[in-house]
Chain A
Amino acid sequence: MSRAERRLPVLITLLVGLMLSIMPLPDSAEPFRPDWLALLLIFWAMQLPRSWSVGTAWIVGVVLDVSYGTLLGQHAVALCVIVFITVRFHLLMRVFPLSQLTLTVFALLALYQFILFWINGVAGVTAPSITYWAPVITGTLLWPFFHMFLSGIRFRPSSGA
């Protein structure tokens, strides 16, 4: 299978992730929007750490910064760090049972949100309310389904994996 063909599914999921990240939600649901791109990057970095690692995370992060109008580089740093940790421990994470993996994802998402929070603090952006941490919870709760769904894409018979 050609290189481009192997990359296509990942690129499509990232594009869909970006769309989900900027899609309008009702005000009540807004704070609970999971960090789709963080989840996606964790998954792909775990499965294909040689093709999709910190470089991809950085580019995605910059695009996210532009879309959200946040400090240029803020999401980029946060995504870089969690993807770095994921790639570093990808072999371990692959053999984790799903429950343990979900806990790991929880920790990664919490770290991600904390880095964003911390940069906001340094830059003097107003401190948000407690719902700021909600995406960590929703992301973790979604992870098992998310993982099963993406594994379906990744290990399709036609992908030859």
Chain B
Amino acid sequence: MVASRGNNSSPARIPALGLRVIVLILVSIVLMYLDHRQNHLDGIRRGIGAAVYPVRLLVDAPVRFWAWLGESTTSRNELELELGRLQAERLLTNARLQRLTALEAENARLRALLEARTRVRDEVRVAEIMAVDANPYEHNLVIDIGTRDGVYDGQAIVDANGVVGQVIETGIMTSQAVLISDADHALPVEVNRNGLRTIAVGTGEIDRLDLPFLPNNADIRAGDLLVTSGLGGAFPSGYPVAVVDSVTRMPSEPFADVSATPSAALDQVREVMLVWSAPPVAPEDDVEEDSE
């Protein structure tokens, strides 16, 4: 550094300070421009992200320790209760799963009849959310797997109940994801009941999504389940997203005011699943659209 000579108490001017600050500001402006326009800087981000990883682990450690302590001191009674509950739940799920297998087979047969391509099952992997806050004014979270495990930008994230969000930035060992409730996030969905397609936009509130592009006469009502339509390309189709909770039709406005509650507990999840969806359908397989 230029300023290494002399000791700190000498009251002289710091040499070339103005020049240095101007250079650094120019470099920053170039960086910001590149970062905003293109994604050339992903490598740099990834490198620095890897360097910050130990700090993230350090911050995360006490929280994990508390969770571990809580787990190891749960009373036997509570554990037994939970075991009972889980066994009941498993029975129920298994029963449903049997039907699902049958349905899946039937679905494959019907699709074969339509000469459409069978849907490949999505591959999933569980990731843990690290107790690290990203930007407080965006609904972001940091998960503990990264490019090393094959995570890619735009990858869908779900939990047991529905879609949580998607990966926006991959690091080597951690990735950042944006929640569907983020004000800048929009997600192509369809109404499960009738296949009506629309877009669910985040509101910045953790428990509400907006559907701003539905005309007043659209067939939608409170209680409708919205699932991903798979049209955006990022999300595989068929995952539950939200349940419509209010539809307000105002005759003076072109669009109805529809809001929905996300199915996933966005502010409570600790573990999420990353979905590797089947590769995009090749152009010659467009039979589905033709037959509809």
Binding partners A and B: yes
CA distance A61 to B45 in the complex (A): 13
Chain A contacts of B132 at CB under 8 A? Answer: 22-24, 67
How far apart are B142's CB and chain A's nearest CB, in angstroms? Answer: 9
Question: For residues 212 through 245 of chain B, which have their beta carbon under 8 Å from a beta carbon of chain A?
Answer: none
**Cα–Cα distance between A140 and B55 once the two chains are bound (Å):** 26
A126 to B204, CA, bound (A): 10
Flag whether B138 is at the interface (Cβ < 8 A): yes
Kindly state whether residue B70 has any CB partner on chain A within 8 Å: no
Q: Which of chain B's residues has its CB closest to A25's CB?
A: B133
Separation of A73 and B28 alpha carbons in the complex (Å): 5
Contacts of A15 in B (CB 8 A): 55
Would A63 and B48 count as touching, CB distance under 8 A?
yes
Please state if B138 and A84 are interface contacts (CB–CB under 8 Å). no
In the complex, the chain A residue whose C-beta lies closest to that of B56 is A22
Interface of chain B residues 1 through 59 with chain A (CB within 8 A): 1, 3-4, 6-8, 11, 14, 17-18, 20-21, 24-25, 27-32, 34-36, 41, 44-45, 48-49, 51-52, 55-56, 58-59
Q: Tell me which residues across on chain B come within 8 A of A54, comparing CB atoms.
A: 17, 20-21, 24
Q: Are A22 and B31 in contact (CB under 8 A)?
A: no
Residue on A with the closest CB to B133? A24
A17 and B264 CA atoms in complex are apart in Å by: 33
Give the segment of A44-52, A106-114, A144-152 that binds chain B.
Answer: A44-52
- Please tell me if the beta carbons of A18 and B131 are within 8 angstroms of each other in the complex: no
Chain B residues touching A, range: 35 or more
B169 at interface (Cβ–Cβ under 8 A)?
Answer: yes
Determine the chain B residues whose CB is within 8 A of the CB of A51 once the complex forms: 1, 3-4, 8
- Closest approach, in angstroms, between the C-beta of B127 and any C-beta of chain A? 17
Is B44 within 8 A of A72, CB to CB? yes
B208 to chain A, nearest CB (A): 15
The listed residue (A31, A63, A69) touching B168 by CB distance below 8 A is: A69
Q: How far is the CA of A147 from the CA of B228 in the complex (A)?
A: 53
Cβ of B176 within 8 Å of any chain A Cβ, yes or no, is yes
B280 at the interface (CB under 8 A from A): no
For B17, B30, B44, B204, the residue with the greatest tally of chain A CB atoms inside 10 Å of its CB is B17
By the criterion CB–CB under 8 Å, are A53 and B17 in contact?
Answer: yes
Inter-chain contacts of B17 with A (CB < 8 A): 53-54, 84, 87-88
Q: A100 CA to B63 CA in the complex, in Å? A: 39
Q: Which residue of A lies closest to B32 (CB)?
A: A73
**Nearest Cβ on chain B to A31's Cβ, whole angstroms:** 6
- CB contact between A24 and one of B20, B45, B55, B63 (< 8 Å): that residue: B63
A156 to B133, CA, bound (A): 34
User: Could you list which residues of chain B lie within 8 angstroms of chain A, going by C-beta atoms?
Assistant: 1, 3-4, 6-8, 11, 14, 17-18, 20-21, 24-25, 27-32, 34-36, 41, 44-45, 48-49, 51-52, 55-56, 58-59, 63, 131-138, 140, 168-169, 176, 183-184, 204, 267
Knowing that A71-B32, A73-B30, A73-B35 are A-B contacts, what are 11 other residue pairs whose CB atoms are under 8 Å apart, sorted by A's residue number? A30-B133, A58-B27, A62-B31, A66-B49, A67-B52, A67-B132, A69-B138, A73-B32, A76-B31, A80-B28, A87-B14
Chain A contact residues, CB within 8 Å of chain B: 15, 18-19, 22-25, 27, 30-31, 33, 47-51, 53-55, 58, 61-63, 66-74, 76-77, 80-81, 84, 87-88, 91, 119, 123, 125-126, 128, 132
User: Can you report 10 A-B residue pairs in the complex whose CB atoms are below 8 A from each other?
Assistant: A22-B134, A23-B59, A48-B8, A49-B3, A50-B14, A55-B1, A72-B41, A72-B44, A73-B27, A87-B14
